[in-house]
Amino acid sequence: MHAFSLAQLILSGFAKHYQLFQEITGQAPTAFASQDWGKIQQISKARIHHYDARVNETISDVKELLNCDVLDESFWYQVKQHYLDLLTFHPQAELAETFYNSVFCRLFDRQYFNNDFIFVETTLKDAPAVAVETEYRSYFPVVKGLKPTIKQIINEFDFQCEFANLDQDIRLLVKAFIQQAPDTHHQHHQMRFDMLPSPFYRNKGAYIIGRVVSQSGIQPFIISVLHDEQGKLCIDALLTNSSQMRVIFGFARAYFLVSTNTPSAMVHFLNQLMPNKTPAELYNAIGFHKQGKTEFYREFLHHLDNSNDKFVIAPGTPGMVMMVFTLPNFPYVFKIIKDKFSESKPFGRDTVLARYQLVKNHDRVGRMADTIEYSDVVLPLNRFCPELLRQLRATIAGSIKIENNHLVIKHLYIERRMNPLNLFIEQASDEQSFKVIDDYGLAIKEMLQANIFPGDMLLKNFGVSKHHRVIFYDYDEVQYLTEMNFRTLPKPSLDDLYSGADLYSVAPQDVFPEQLLTFVMTNPKLKTFFEQTHPELLTVEYWQNAQADIINKVSKHIYPYPPEQRFNHIAKQKRLM
């Protein structure tokens, strides 16, 4: 087989993958219009598993035509060069590189994973860049006027469902923009709108993303579109605050469903709106998590090449299931499953793997950190501090080996580093502590609405993000809420107490909500505050009602922005005044 033919074969495999991926994504508008929220979840889950299936398909095609038992170095070097040439003007070139890497790495042993045969670093830096303008449309209010232009923009999204009162929504939108970004307000002939042409769908919401270009500079914005109680569309909120926008694109949320022909151009546009977001985070956010993984690895290699900090044990209470370490100047933690668990953890490695996969496939509702999963990771041995190496040998010897000057880790998870909630509270003021404890309660409630029972709800298993959001990150006891049995604690009689017998039996899935604070909080002030703000979480009825909602398919929307941003909320407040 000719090297060029093989390069074409692999690129054809990628083309099939991308076409089918976009077809799956293309089901989102109809599901949103018909309010088929179960379908939205099915689409999200299908996309996560789609990539591996297409890679395996391509590998089978290669093996039918080529002996891959031994690496023919000269031949595969030619294949890569032909493949690279085919990508010169390819609109998804960076994704096609990653697809090629996946095919090669599954065909051959990792000893061949270097720049000669795969794209460790992208080779597209010198290729003609995809014009960002191919990804957005521009509108000029000077032609038709401000409100007619906004109406044209929204109508061109074709939501397949009518608005209840679009003219009123536009008036609220213009007013909100003037209030939120007064410094960028100009006459309509002094501005331009740049809009991404496809809505970003997630859960029960659709998001319109764009920017206003004026003499004051660039003002990014996100418009939230929802269904009202009658099933018609309404604009729910305008977001212009960069911090709020970053939360909407946060690492604890499900991936957006959005169609694009040139992902690099879309990521570049989004990066201009949210410059603090990395390419890895933005590729993840728009559903290309494999490309996000590639971009993250490149960021990690760049950090290793341009720093000298050493891996150390991560701050926080040591876990019973995971060994966790970090690089002080790199904002992530590395988690490896221990060889042996504490006796209080009656499950094994396969259960942990399954539970992390459960969260990966699930709606994380802004409360569960995304994880990046790697196998056979090679790290420089001299970057590990002695104490960490000692701990690794003591806890995860079965998952590591030393080869020359490198430590090879068989399997690990990587998560965004956060300040453990228990450590945050130790250093926080009373006001800060009360706020995060309130958010801790909200985090639990929002996970329950997504059919997630976090299991171990100790404060050490939650982190505080830089936006002071409480996010769960320890998944070894995660289960579906509907699988649990919530019970009321029996009230013993005097005879029961004197008998010395067990007062009640406890099955593995039994949970007693009344005991939540007994095990979670020792600070009396925080305990009292939690009882005041979230008393329902201490009642069995609340948990059982949450189960009933899931069973009855009552889908609740969890707003990824503050309630005071909502137009409906503002209108209600005015009616009360």
pLDDT of residue 505: 62
Q: What is the DSSP string of 11-31?
A: HHHHHHHHHHHHHHHTTHHHH
**pLDDT tier for residue 571 given thresholds of 50, 70 and 90:** very low
- If DSSP codes are grouped into helix, strand and coil, which group holds residue 559? coil
* Cβ–Cβ < 8 Å for 468, 490: no
Polymer length in residues for the chain: 577
Secondary element (H or E) of residue 413: strand 406-416
Which pLDDT belongs to residue 575? 33
Q: Are strands 372-380 and 406-416 parallel, antiparallel or unpaired?
A: antiparallel
pLDDT score recorded for residue 556: 84
| Mean of per-residue pLDDT scores for the chain | 91
pLDDT for the residue numbered 500: 53
User: What are the tens digits of pLDDT across the range 113-145?
Assistant: 666 788 888 877 766 667 777 789 999 999 999
pLDDT at 577: 29
Nearest to 369 by CA among 252, 247, 456: 252
Packing angle, helices 93-107 and 73-86, rounded to 10:
160
Q: What phi and psi, each to the nearest 5 degrees, are found at residue 26?
A: -65, -10
The backbone region for 280, taken as left when phi is positive above 0, alpha when psi lies in -120 to 50, beta otherwise, is: alpha
Q: Which amino acid is residue 394, in one-letter code? A: A
Integer angstrom CA distances of residue 401 from 89, 293, 309, 397, 405: 42, 23, 22, 8, 11
**What per-residue confidence (pLDDT) applies to 576?**
30
CA distance 17 to 384: 39
Q: What's residue 118's pLDDT?
A: 87
- What is the percentage of the chain residues whose pLDDT exceeds 70? 93
Residue list, annotated binding site for ATP:
314-320, 335
pLDDT in tens, 274-298: 999 999 999 999 999 999 999 999 9
Residues in CB range of 447: below 8 A, 6 or more apart: 365, 367, 368, 453, 454, 472
Q: Judge contact between 161 and 33, C-beta under 8 A.
A: yes
CB neighbours of residue 481 within 10 Å: 21
Residues assigned a catalytic role: 370
Alpha-carbon distance values, 225 to 5, 149, 222, 267, 560 (Å): 47, 18, 10, 22, 12
Which residue's entry shows tokens 């009658």? 230
Summarize the annotated binding site as residue ranges: 314-320, 335
Question: Mind spelling out the 3-state secondary structure of 95-160?
Answer: HHHHHHHHHHHHHCCHHHCCCCCCCCCCCHHHCCCCCHHHCCEEECHHHHCHHHHHHHHHHCCCCC
What confidence score (pLDDT) does residue 572 get? Answer: 46
Section 64-92 average pLDDT: 92
* Distance between CA atoms of residues 255 and 50, nearest Å: 14
Q: What digits encode the pLDDT tens for the residues 235-260?
A: 999 999 988 999 999 999 999 999 99
What pairing do the DSSP bridges indicate for beta strands 191-195 and 205-214? antiparallel
Buried b (16+ CB within 10 A) or exposed e, 243-269: ebbbbbbbbbbbbbbbbbebbbbbbbb
The pTM of the full predicted model, rounded to 2 decimals, is: 0.92
Determine the Cα–Cα distance for residues 80 and 515; give it in Å rounded to an integer: 60
Q: Tell me, what's the pLDDT at 262?
A: 93
Q: What is the mean pLDDT of residues 258-280?
A: 94
Span 418-439, pLDDT tens digits: 999 999 999 999 999 999 999 9
Contact yes or no for 287/255 (Cβ under 8 A)? yes
Residue 308 to residues 42, 127, 330, 361, 451, Cα–Cα distance (Å)? 44, 32, 11, 36, 43
Beta bridge partners of 163: 233
